[in-house]
Amino acid sequence: MRNARQPHRTQTYNATVIVTIDGVAASGKSSVASGVARALHVPYVSSGLLYRAAARAALNAGLPLTDEAALTAHLRAHPLRLDARADGNRAYQGDTDLTPHLHTDEVDDAVSAVAALPGVRAWIDDHLRSLPAPFVAEGRDMGTNVFPHATAKFYLTASPRVRAQRRVNERDADIDAIETALRERDRRDARQSQPAPDAHLIDTGPLTLQGVIDLILQRVQAAHA
């Protein structure tokens, strides 16, 4: 058992520790998960990057985004691979690094349709569960479906307007268009985006990025006290 006076940064986490951070689009999952993972000296796993890679692969192959049989066959024949590190994730298909092409409006528009396919979700879930713990996993259903026995679970929220304000600096689009797109993605993702009953809900609107990270680290430490 950890000495309660030992700060988290020297804490060594056993191989079973998984922290999940779920939330809606642009709620801060990737930035928060990366900061928490760095502080805990463990990798962070971006499930969203795998779904984006699946959508990119479908677009590249010219496959219909709703053709589950074709998409799952394509993933089996040309598997994706997530390289999960504390400083960031990269998604590969074979030797091709898809990462630079995954945060685009085209992928944003395509990914929810691909993510709605049970066969694609099952393929990605299997890949995620094959990754060696400990890690911080972020997405929509990490704490509900993929890692229901996670050590600590968090669910991030913020208003669509706040999330659009945060995203406007990253995309060449006006804030109203970004907010509309976020609301639409929230609607399309609703099925897999419900918080786990045992997740800590965090409204990130009033908090800085570091404030959210610190709050999560305090709660992870408490779970190990």
Ligand X SMILES: Nc1ccn([C@@H]2O[C@H](COP(=O)(O)O)[C@@H](O)[C@H]2O)c(=O)n1
Ligand Y SMILES: Nc1ncnc2c1ncn2[C@@H]1O[C@H](COP(=O)(O)OP(=O)(O)OP(=O)(O)O)[C@@H](O)[C@H]1O
- Binding residue (CB under 6 A) for ligand X from 20, 47, 72, 99: 47
Contact indicator for 45, 84 with CB cutoff of 8 Å = yes
Shortest spacing between CB 30 and ligand Y, in angstroms: 3
- Cα separation of the two ends of the chain: 7
* 52 binds ligand X per the rule CB under 6 A: yes
Regarding 25 and contact with ligand X (CB under 6 A), the answer is yes
- For ligand X, which is the closer residue by CB, 141 or 179? 141
SS3 15: coil
Count of residues in the chain: 225
The residue range among 12-20, 115-123, 164-172, 194-202 that interacts with ligand Y, by the rule CB under 6 A, is 164-172
Output the smallest distance, CB 24 to ligand X, in A.
8
Q: 29: helix, coil or strand?
A: helix
Number of residues that bind ligand Y (CB under 6 A): 17
User: Binding of ligand Y at residue 193 (CB under 6 A)?
Assistant: no
Q: If binding is defined by CB under 6 A, does position 112 make contact with ligand Y?
A: no
Q: Which long-range contacts (CB under 8 A, 24 or more apart) does 127-130 make?
A: 127/50, 127/79, 127/80, 127/81, 127/82, 128/45, 128/47, 128/50, 128/82
Task: Look up residue 15 and give its two tokens.
Answer: 């191989």
Instruction: Based on the shown chain and the rule CB under 6 A, indicate whether residue 173 belongs to the binding site for ligand Y.
Output: no
From residue 45 to residue 84, what is the string marking binding to ligand Y with x (rule CB under 6 A)? ---x------------------------------------
The backbone torsions φ and ψ at residue 168, rounded to the nearest 5 degrees and listed phi first, read: -60, -30
Out of 17, 22, 28, 45, name the contact with ligand Y by CB under 6 A: 28
Q: Is 89 in the site for ligand Y (CB under 6 A)?
A: no
In whole angstroms, the minimum distance from the beta carbon of 185 to ligand Y comes to: 8
Count of Cβ atoms closer than 10 Å to residue 100 Cβ? 8
Does 215 contact ligand Y by CB under 6 A? no
The DSSP-derived string for 145-168 is II-TT-SEEEEEE--HHHHHHHHT
Applying CB under 6 A, the residues found at the interface with ligand Y are: 23, 25-31, 48, 166-167, 170, 204, 207-209, 212
